[in-house]
Amino acid sequence: MTLNMTAPLEVGIAVCDLAHMRRFYEQVLGFAFVSEITVPAARAQQAAMNETGYTVVRLQTAWGERVKLLAPLRPPAPQATPAYILDKANATYLTFIVDDIEAVVDRLHGAGVTFLTGTGRVEIRPGTFLAFCLDPEGNVLEIVQYADIAAYRPELQQPRSA
């Protein structure tokens, strides 16, 4: 069976401070605001999301992927991040493939972002550079640059201009 998707992948991130996280994803990472809605408690319970209801902000990249920031009306306490990404059960992270990793890393450092991979990029294999960092609530983000993106993802097309 094939998953017949009708739109690009969307990722939901549970957050505690919606305003702060929205500023980070919009102003630091450059996502565009799409919408904001509040889901009442009864619907949130039916959807197995939470007991009290939540607010969701949808943000979009130039490629059309969306990140949904979901803030429960009664947020849980933040959890500590382990020393290594894969030491956390059910570890997940978002990967952003960029054309200039050094510029992105510099911008994130300027915004006070915490890096797990030190102050610069890491060459994980020849021609593949990455840096792992944390968003303001400790979600792991991977920034990657491929020397030859066409070899890695030959099926990709350039995003449409706005």
Do 102 and 132 lie in a common domain?
yes
The 10 Å Cβ neighbour count of residue 101 is 20
Kind and range of the H or E run holding 78: none
| Encoded amino acid at 97, one letter | I
Residues 36-46 have pLDDT tens digits of: 999 999 999 99
Kindly state the tokens that stand for 14: 């549970």
Task: Provide the CATH number for the domain around residue 145.
Answer: 3.10.180.10
* Nearest residue to 139 via CA among 106, 114, 107, 159: 114
> CA of 84: how far to CAs of 18, 100, 158, in Å?
26, 25, 34
The answer to whether position 77 is within a domain reads no
pTM listed for this prediction: 0.85
Q: What is the pLDDT of residues 82-107, one digit of tens each?
A: 888 888 878 899 999 999 999 999 99
132 is in which domain, residue-wise? 85-152
**Alpha-carbon gap, residue 15 to 136, rounded angstroms:** 10
Residue 3 in domain: no
Look at the chain and report how many structural domains it folds into: 2
Tokens for 15, please give them: 């957050």
Residues 50 and 109 in one domain: no
